[in-house]
Structure 1
Amino acid sequence: MTNTFGTESAAASAAAAPSVPGSQERLAKAVRAAEQALIEFEIAVETFRVEVENFSRLHHQRLGPMYARLDELDALIAEAVAAHSGDRADIERAWEARALVMPMPGIEELFGGLLGSDGVRPVEDPNPPRRVRPGKEAQRLYRELVRKAHPDLAQEDEEKERRSAFIARVNEAYAYADEDALHALAAEWEAGPVPLADLPGEAEVLYARLEWLAERKEKLSAIAAELDESAIGQMMRLAPDDPDALLNEIAEQLLTQVSQREARLAELVRDASGG
């Protein structure tokens, strides 16, 4: 993901001439711009984190059983080859293949009863994500709520805590693409008090605020970089515009590999039985 935080130059210009008339006003404007830039950056990082987490969960739910089934078929094929040849190397390969296998359901369960109509295998999670990327309405509601209720817009500790608790609920609703919950949260925020954030009046406080914003931006940049460089993040680079389509493509490839291995195993069984 691309990280931008384009207020440092404005802040530097305001800080360069504190004695010039109007310099403190420019500094205050730089602080406000930095606050808004940081909020937009946090939105980008959080939406990316949700997509990475959802992709990881869906990858495990949908494709994990297929990978495990492939391991099982590889072990069965290796065992059939070893039984036919009796060769020591083939026997060792069969042992190695079997050691990789975890107990798995049969192919008819995998592609029948255990998979729902949408191709997702039911798991313990009572409310799994439906897609990697929440819909456009959920994205719009999420961004609007964060821009309005972000804790960094408050100066008082009590108000920061109230906003932090509210944003935590917003993040949870967005992670599950729950548009109804996001609409309800939007109504709740509009109905409640929305205190204006009073900007500090003294230059020292404004400078301290800019320093804090810069430090926060660095932490977010590190989080974004870690997500981007993770195995899932790198996988998502293959289809940045439609990660759900990438999951479907991988699933189709795995289904083809399963079918090929099933055919290979059936051939080995026929040869062993003399059929």
Structure 2
Amino acid sequence: MTNSSGTESSASSATFAAASEPGSQDRLAKAVRAAEQALIEFEIAVETFRVEVENFSRLHHQRLGPMYARLDELDALVAEAVAAHSGEREDIERAWEARALVMPMPGIEELFGGLLGSDGVRPADDPNPPRRVRPGKEAQRLYRELARKAHPDLAQDESEKERRSAFIARVNEAYAYADEDALRALAEEWEAGPVPEEALPTEAEVLYARLEWLAERKEQLAAIAAELDESAIGQMMKLSPDDPDALLNEIAEQLLTQVGEREARLAELVKESGGE
């Protein structure tokens, strides 16, 4: 995108004049169709990545959040035990700082339910958490097929575009929860529905306006993709791009080890204090 409107206007006029040459409008129509398909593939990729980042973030919070809270509580208890034993001002200040960071400590059921329960922890603000970070291959296949067939950007009529947008929103929701049955039902619904309008306008002005819109939309999607990629969760997922679910399990194991170490340290301090 650029602010040099005068230059763009001159270039558009020249290009539009060239479109009046024999056969040029047909080539322009082909360019628009190619740009539409390229944008749809790009949007599928961005939406797929967005679902994975969002699912990873939610599962990270639900499964590992209680363990981080448990570690904070144990750190505070250890610091307080050390301060009580030494009486040193520095130790007391560290204990205050550690306690200030503590969230309410989760119970043991909440702590391990997120790891061992078949449904995991289901907080009130998210009653239907995703089943996993990356939906299965069948769900991915169904999603891609539906997105390519029913994408709103293929519609030229506004009412048809609205119908497609509402339908794709349902497709996205089913894919986010890896609901293969819902995706199959949506595929059947689409096949039974109205045949999508695929004819493109022939006027050169409309075709050029279409190309400009496609370019702007791709720029917007690129910004979204960059933001997802640069986010904390996006950076974390790069540690295991092929299997992000395994990364969650690995982090959980590391946190369990740290919890055990902190508990052992706390028990040792309590024992020492009791033996005096």
Scaled by the length of structure 2, what TM-score is found? Answer: 0.90
- Equivalent in the alignment of 2:128: 127
Match of 2:274, as an amino acid? S
Query: Structure 2 unaligned runs (5+)?
Result: 1-14
2:176 is equivalent to residue 175 of structure 1: yes
What is the identity, as a one-letter code, of the residue corresponding to 1:121?
A: V
8 Å CA contact 2:122–2:128 kept in 1: the answer is: no
- Paired position in structure 1 for 2:262: 261
Structure 1 residue aligned with 2:7 = none
2:161 alignment counterpart: 160
Residue 130 of structure 2 aligns to a residue in which SS?
coil
80-89 or 14-23, which moves further after superposition?
A: 14-23
Quick one: distance in 2 between partners of 1:15 and 1:252? 62
2:35 match: 34
* 1:67-112 deviation digits (Å, cap 9, x = unpaired): 0000000000000000000000000000000011111124x33444
Identity fraction in percent? 84
Q: Which residue of structure 2 aligns with residue 226 of structure 1? A: 227
Amino acid at match of 2:121: R
Q: Is the 8 A contact 1:55 1:132 kept in 2?
A: yes
Structure 1 window deviating more from structure 2 (145-154 vs 97-106): it is: 97-106
* TM-aligned CA deviation for residue 19 of structure 1: 4.6
Indicate the residue corresponding to 1:188 in structure 2: 189
Change over 3 Å in CA distance of 1:160–1:114 after alignment to 2 = closer
Question: Would the aligned equivalents of 1:151 and 1:164 in 2 still touch at CA under 8 Å?
Answer: yes
The offset of 1:120, in angstroms, is: 2.6
Q: Which residue number corresponds to residue 109 of structure 2?
A: 109
What runs of 5+ residues in structure 1 fail to find an aligned partner?
Answer: 1-13
**Which residue type is aligned with residue 262 of structure 1?**
E
Distance, in Å, in 2 between the alignment partners of 1:164 and 1:110 is 39
Structure 1 residues 194-203 or 154-163, which shifts more? Answer: 194-203
Bigger fraction of residues in helix: 2
Offset of residue 114 of structure 1: 6.2
Shift of 1:24: 1.2
Offset of residue 118 of structure 1: 4.3
The amino acid across from 2:187 in the alignment is: A
Matched, 1:137 2:138: yes
Matching residue's letter, 1:97: A
Give how far 1:25 is off. Answer: 1.0
Cα distance 1:216–1:103, how it changes in 2: closer, same or farther (>3 A)? Answer: same
Which letter maps to 1:72? E
Instruction: Confirm or deny: 8 A CA contact 2:55 2:133 kept in the other structure.
Output: yes
Rounded Cα–Cα distance in structure 2 between residues aligned with 1:16 and 1:224: 36
Measured after TM superposition, the shift of residue 22 of structure 1 is: 1.7
5 Å-filtered alignment, 1:203-242, equals 203-242=204-243
TM-score (norm 1): 0.91
- Alpha-carbon deviation of 1:196? 2.4
Cα deviations by residue, 1:138-183 (Å, 9 ceiling, x for unpaired): 1111110010001111111110011111011111111111111100
Q: CA deviation at 1:227?
A: 0.7
AA at the equivalent of 1:258: V
Render the CA deviation track for 1:14-60: whole Å, top value 9, x for unaligned. 87943543221111110000000000111011111100100000000
- Structure 2 distance, partners of 1:256, 1:16, is 70
Alignment of 1:42-121 (within 5 A): 42-106=43-107, 108-112=108-112, 116-118=116-118, 120-121=120-121
Work out the CA distance in 1 between the residues paired with 2:215 and 2:114.
49
What is the distance in 2 between the residues matched to 1:119 and 1:255?
A: 19
Please tell me whether the aligned partners of residues 131 and 244 of structure 1 are also in contact (alpha carbons under 8 angstroms).
Answer: yes
What's the C-alpha RMSD, in Å, of the aligned pairs? 1.7
For residues 193-245 of structure 1, give each alpha carbon's deviation from its aligned partner in whole angstroms, at most 9, with x where no partner exists: 12322201111111110000000000011111111111111111111111101
Q: Secondary structure at the match of 2:171?
A: helix
- The 1-side partners of 2:163 and 2:174 are apart by 17
Query: How many pairs align?
Result: 261
